[in-house]
A and B are shown apart, each in its own frame.
Chain A
Amino acid sequence: MGSSGFQLFEFLVSFGYCFARIERRKIDLMKSLVCISKVPDTTTKVTFTDNNTKFNEENVQYIVNPYDEWYSLVRALELKEAKGEGTVTVVNVGPADNEQTIRKALAIGADDAVRIDAQPTDGYYTAAQIAAHAKDKGYDLVWAGSESIDYNGFEVGGMLAELLGLPYVQNATSIDYDGSSATLVRNIEGGQETLSVHSPFVLSTQKGMAEARIPNMRGIMQAKKKPLEVISPVEAENLTEITKFEHPPEKGEVKMIDPENVEELVDLLQNEAKVL
């Protein structure tokens, strides 16, 4: 008696489970949010103004932060393409003149973009803006580059994860994702670690994730028509501020050594530089 009752129960449970799965497949496409930062091109000559309190933006060429573009955005697109479904949204915190940089990300293949109309004054402020946008959007994967090449902070991804209450995998070099759980490899001191985590989660990416993609003409044309939503910032604090910039000390003149006399180099390294 108990047995048939149990079987019926089991049947209903499995039916419900299947139904839930079908429902989930129908409505729950994979959604990625990729945080992108606008940074000075690598070859920029860095100078400061206003008594060394501001970065001099004059004549600076801007690019999408390479970590955000090469690794996060391209890998997010690869996962979407492999699955044949889903969306990749890019988000940037910055003023209107960032839109040229945002369009570059759309040209590479992002589906749509969000610009939060504010100056990204510190890592926490920036993370708080992105968190306010992301919190009720149901993103499965939230991507950040490990660092931006301007302030080299390695911080926005971790702050964002905390503000969203999600797991965080930092400095990942590869990711595979089956729609509910992901296997990642991340850097640790002197090695790498392989781990698994359930979505939704936040990750930050490093070299190894993907190779650079160059936008083609079609991508560039399409990018002009893709949606770019501008939203207002929320109230958030700056936990830190930069009070002054400084140039690194001038490098002394290089000392050239005769290739026939490598003993001199050994001597200089031992007795002058004292590093051996």
Chain B
Amino acid sequence: MGLVITEEQQLLKDSAKDYLKENASIALMRKLRDENDENRFSPAVWNAMAEMGWAGLIIPEAYGGMGFEYVGMGQVLEETGRSLTSSPLLSSALISATLLNLAGDQSQKEKYLAAIASGKIISLASEEGSHHNPKKVQLTAKKKGDGFILSGSKNYVLDGQVADHFIVSARTAGHSDSPKGISLFIVSADSAGISKTSATLMDSRVCAHLSFDNVAVSTDHLLGELDKGYKPLQKTLDIAAIGVSAELLGIIQESFDRTISYLKERRQFDKIIGSFQALQHRAADMYCEIEICKSLVIKALQGIDEDSFMLPALASMAKSKCCKIAQLVTNEGVQMFGGIGMTDDEDIGLYLKRARVAMELYGNYNYHLDRFATLNGY
């Protein structure tokens, strides 16, 4: 496979771009924010996305999806990065669908994958602290009678405030930092004992902190094998990191394009500021780094579709590089816009803010750099 997208993927990307521009632009994001909408995404837009098949892009046709590949999903995620569109595409259609497909049994797949494809929201509840650390699981699931009792808490659950179900990582054996003894459960969001607190982050999107107070689930809610949930979870988190990298790539390119346009129109000292070499060289350097990001992202997306043994390294390379360059490009964007870049009226700052949240999701720069070194034996 060449490192270019196919015609079909290009069509998907173009139609995503057109749809998002018309229906889910930054104006919508500002409106939801300024009206203090509790979910910060438009259910109408999400339903339309589901109808277009995006919610089921990577779900096999047998379970009501489109059976497309991850490279295609990556193109749509990249476009949502450009348009700053908030939706459960990442949380439910990419991450939870991936995990269900990896770990679910036949009847779980039939039930929950079809639900996701139709636009229902399932969120992964795996983080317990402020830094990505999927092995650190203190929420417990204790065997009781025919089922399990879940106790503990999860933080920063994407779209957790509106999710219909949660996939929860729980400790069923081993010590609290061990990859062994982690099990996955799919739990209805309205189960007795779950309480939610919403948290609005810098990007104006909302996520939820969840508390599980003796939540009873039956055995058929166990996803995959008991004590062996870490493997599918880790693979899903690699794919999540790649998905976020694709979104970051969209953020990076759009902030860069906007910055270049601004350099071509803003005048100071009787000159277009883009004619100053001090700015030109910084812009050209960013162009080069973005070329590297593009290659790492497409390579990683293809790695998912090819089920590459390199997937963990590809994920960590893509995420760490995209984090670093998102930081560079959004910082330079605000700096080159100058005073206007500091105002809420100008969009460039919104990219900076979304970038910071996306950079932190599923492992930040340091996490993935460290992991890359570890994977390479140093």
A and B co-occur in one complex: no
